[in-house]
Structure 1
């Protein structure tokens, strides 16, 4: 547990050093919200979800790339792969929780006639799923620019694609549209059920993918030893 907490602390310090990136992460969901607040209050909530998903995925992408050169040394120093992954995830989940709370309070006091519980649920699920998606992109796309462009593409598709289409279900944050519709438009519970199933599947798939990619990349080689 101590090593996991050490990795989490290192990840938080690395994110804190990137002050400009941190400021964008904090303000981007607000910008998304304000663009739709005057004319489409319900849509502004959905835009907050998109802003949170992009911000948390980007933070994970940057944190993973920053640690790329350090993790093999930690691995040789006795850290297990799961400790490195769980520590970084813990830091990103904590960041996501800290970011989501003020936006939930904003919606709670600025919006009316919506279901606040499902809105909070979407934010919790985005906090869990979005960092995993960012870590996976960092594992398969080693350059930050490439990962950022893919994130922009995914968010753009999330905004433009018909949520009722089959293809849209392949997007990692489709569940936010379904549960968001249940919360804003107060539709039937089938929207909530579909969103929860999709979120559970995405969480399991991304956890497995990130764990596998990390294990392959950080596997120890018997002929290498840490210099004494």
Structure 2
């Protein structure tokens, strides 16, 4: 019960933090929307640009959420929270947020582009949103500054949009599965299960990466207690700061 309470507190905390960044969130959403509108003459290209470009909005929001709470995370760990509580709390808020953004994009693109199978488009865009959360968590946990993290997001999402689906490198990028679904929405027949399974496995791998980097950054290290007489006592350890400094 206490673990659930900690997770809910984390979700609420990140929700309040992101709602204060409404201008930044609006710009993050406007960028992929502009990609889509600029490519709307070619339906397949437009759907890919809008659907995959949306990854920048959701992963960007995730990145800002992670980096803006680094100091708070350290205090929470010292207060008894576990790294997995922080991770699940972020997923609990950012996942639904991504799905809300995905729903808006899906409706807009379905109305304008009229894909042959709208439900496949909805599935693909929803998977982009869900994949963007662990992607942003992994980048935010690995890097400590917003500039470097943002450049990584731009590079990965931009490469996903630039390379063709048949390119060798495309298969190793995080949004290859959702892209196959989005492009398949314009066709009467296209693979469904394969891209979904690939996306799920890639997302789980990104969560593992995020967890490992998070553990390295905020795990509490313990040092021997120094007795007033000057003798170190290994049995009574006092917590250091969560970043490992004395």
Query: Is the shorter-chain TM-score for this pair beyond 0.5, marking a shared fold?
Result: yes
1:181/1:187 contact within 8 Å kept = no
Root-mean-square deviation over aligned CA pairs: 1.8
Q: How much does 1:113 deviate? A: 4.3
5+ unaligned residues in a row in structure 1: which ranges?
Answer: none
Counterpart-to-counterpart distance in 2, 1:213 and 1:186: 42
Q: How does 1:52-67 map to 2 (within 5 A)?
A: 52-67=54-69
Higher strand share: 2
The equivalent position to 1:81 in structure 2, one of 74, 80, 83, is 83
**Residues 46 and 176 of structure 1 are in contact (CA less than 8 Å); yes or no, is this contact kept in structure 2?**
no
Partner of 1:70, secondary structure, is helix
Confirm whether residue 24 of structure 1 aligns to residue 39 of structure 2. Answer: no
* CA deviations over 1:107-157 (Å, ceiling 9, x no partner): 232232421111111122122211111111112221111111111111221
Q: 1:141 aligns with which of 140, 143, 146?
A: 143
Larger Rg: 2
Q: Is the 8 Å Cα contact of residues 9 and 89 (structure 2) preserved in structure 1?
A: yes
| Partner in structure 1 of residue 230 of structure 2 | none
After TM superposition, the score normalised by the length of structure 2 is 0.84
Higher relative contact order (CA 8 A, sep 6+): 1
**Runs (5+) with no aligned partner, structure 2:** 223-237, 242-246
Moved more, 169-178 or 61-70: 169-178
Q: Within 2, Cα distance between the matches of 1:69 and 1:40?
A: 46
Once residues 167 and 179 of structure 1 are traced to their aligned partners in structure 2, the CA distance between those partners, rounded to angstroms, is 18
Q: Does 1:200 align with 2:200?
A: yes
**Contact 1:119/1:183 (CA < 8 Å) preserved in 2?**
yes
Aligned mates of 1:220, 1:184 — CA distance in 2: 51
- The structure in which a higher percent of residues are helix is 1
